[in-house]
Structure 1
Amino acid sequence: MASLASILQALFLVPLTLLPIINPVGVAPIVIDAAGNDDRVLKRLSRQVAINGWVVIVASMLVGTYVLDLFGISLPVVRVAGGLLVAFSAWTMLTRHEEADEVQTAIAEDASADLSEAEIVRRSFFPITFPLTTGPGCIAAAIALGAQFPRQPLPYVMGAGIAAIGAAITAAVVYLIFRNGGRLLMRLGEVGTTVMMRLMAFVLLCIGIQILWTGWTDLNRMVP
C-alpha cells in the first residue's frame, strides 16, 4: 500500500505542479481564436498543442538537468529564475491585459482562412505551445521535477516512466480544456472568464514566489 501510495503521489505530482503554471483556461480563448471558431480546426489544433506540450515537458524532465550541468548552472539558480518568470507572468496577468489582447487579436486576424496541416503544426508550436502553454515557468518547473529522479538505472527508468504518464495526464487535461473551451467559456461568460483568469493568476503568483523562495533557500544553504 505504501508503494502504491508513493506511485500515485509521483503520478499526480506532475499535473498538480504544472497545470496551475500552464493555466489552460486562460490560454483557451487564444486557441479558439487561432482556430477561427472552426470546430474541426480547433480539434486538430488542440490535439497538436497537447502533443507538443507533452514532448516539451518530458524532454525538460529527462534532459534538463544534464543541460544545466553542461553549462554549469545549478538547480537553485533555475528555481530562482523560474520563480521570477512565473511571478512576473502572473503579475502581468493580474495587472495588464493590453499585450495579451494584442497577441490574441493578431492571431485572430490570420485565422479566417482554412488552415492546412502544416500551418496547424507550425502555429500549434509558436506561439500557442511556446510560450503561451509550456512557457519558461513550466519548463523550469519540469526541470525541477526531473532533478528529483533517482540516479540508479532501474529506479530512474521507473521514475521517468511514471513522470511521462503524469505528463500525458497533463497534456490530456490541456487537450480537453482547449477542445471544449468554447462551451466552457460560454458557460462562464465574459465576467466568469475574467474572474477565473484572475484567480488562476493569483495562484500562479503564489507558486512563483514559492519556487523563488525555495531556490533562494537552497542558495543560502550552499554558502559556506
Structure 2
Amino acid sequence: MLSAFSPETALQSFVLALSSLFSIVNPIGSALIFAQVTAHNSHAQRVELSKRIGFYAALIMLSALWAGAPILNFFGVSLAALRIAGGLVVAASAWTLLTVPEAREARKQAEAQGGLPENLAEIAFFPLTLPFTTGPGTIAVAIALGSNRPEASPDRVGFYVGMSLAALAIAVMVRFAYGSADRVVTLIGPVGARVLGRLFAFLLLCVGTQITVNGVTDVLTPLLPPR
C-alpha cells in the first residue's frame, strides 16, 4: 500500500483542495459573521459550538470528496459531465465572491440567524454548519474536486490523501477561527477579511476553469483523430 502512495500527487492535491475549499468556506470571513450571530452567547458556548461545527464540517466535506462523484455516476452522470458542470458551478460561485462579496456575506448572515433555537447541539449543525459554513457551494466544490481524481492507482491514493488532509485542515481552521471569533474580529477586521476573500476567490475561479477544461478535454479527446 505504501509503495502505491505518491507524495507528489498528495502534495499537489492538498494545495489545490486547500485553496479551493478555503476560498468557498472562508473561515476568517465567516468567523466575523459567527461573532455577530452568537454575540448573546458566552465565550465557553462559542468554543463548544466551534468544536461541533468543525467536526460536522469535516464530515460534510469528506463525504462530498469521497462519495459525491460515485453517487452521481450511479445515476448515469459521466465523469466528464460532472467535471464540466462542477467546474462551471465553482467558477460561477467564485465570480460571485469576486464581484459582490457583500451580498454573499449578507445572505450567509441571514441563514445563520434564521430561527436559532436555544439548544447549542441543534444550532451547531443547522444552520451554523449547513448551510452557513459548508453549504451547497462548498459541497459542489468538494464534488468537483473529487471528480478530478486520476485514473492511475498510485496517483489516486495520493490524490485522496491530499484532498482529505486539506478538508481536515479547513475544518481545523473553522474550529479555531470560530472559537477565537472575538480576536479575529479585532485582529483582521471586516476590510481585511474582504481582501483575503477576494484574493482566494480569484484562485477559486482559476480552479473552476481548470476543472471545466479537464472535462471538455475528456469529451473531445475520443472524438479527435489519432495523431
**Pairwise TM-score range, normalised by the shorter structure:** 0.7 to 0.9
Candidates 7, 19, 35, aligned match of 2:38: 35
State whether residues 87 and 205 of structure 1, in contact with CA within 8 Å, keep that contact through their aligned partners in structure 2: yes
Inter-partner Cα distance in structure 1 for 2:12 and 2:118: 38
Deviations, residues 31-59 of structure 1 (Å, cap 9, x unaligned): 32332363223222222222122212222
Q: Say whether 1:6 aligns with 2:16.
A: no
Equivalent position of 1:82 in the other structure: 86
> TM-score when scaled to structure 2?
0.75
What is the identity, as a one-letter code, of the residue corresponding to 1:67? I
Q: Say whether 1:101 aligns with 2:106.
A: yes
What is the identity, as a one-letter code, of the residue corresponding to 2:27? P
State whether residues 83 and 212 of structure 2, in contact with CA within 8 Å, keep that contact through their aligned partners in structure 1: yes
Name structure 1 gaps, 5 residues minimum.
Answer: none
Detail structure 1 runs of 4+ shifted over 6 Å in the superposition: 2-5, 155-159
Deviations, residues 161-185 of structure 1 (Å, cap 9, x unaligned): 6754553333212322332233223
SS of equivalent to 1:104: helix
Q: Say whether 1:55 aligns with 2:20.
A: no
Equivalent position of 2:76 in the other structure: 72
For residues 47-196 of structure 1, the aligned pairs below 5 Å read 47-96=51-100, 97-105=102-110, 107-108=112-113, 114-131=118-135, 134-141=138-145, 143-144=146-147, 147-148=149-150, 164-196=164-196
Candidates 12, 25, 29, aligned match of 1:26: 29
- The 3 A distance-change label for structure 1 pair 37 and 217 is farther
- The 3 A distance-change label for structure 1 pair 3 and 37 is farther
Q: Say whether 1:215 aligns with 2:215.
A: yes
Shift of 1:148: 3.6
Aligned length: 218
Shift of 1:90: 1.6
Name structure 2 gaps, 5 residues minimum.
Answer: none
The root-mean-square deviation of aligned C-alpha atoms, in Å, is 3.5
- The 3 A distance-change label for structure 1 pair 69 and 139 is closer
> TM-score when scaled to structure 1?
0.76
Deviates more, 1:156-165 or 1:172-181: 156-165
- The 3 A distance-change label for structure 1 pair 156 and 58 is same
SS of equivalent to 2:77: coil
State whether residues 49 and 128 of structure 1, in contact with CA within 8 Å, keep that contact through their aligned partners in structure 2: no
Inter-partner Cα distance in structure 1 for 2:189 and 2:215: 39
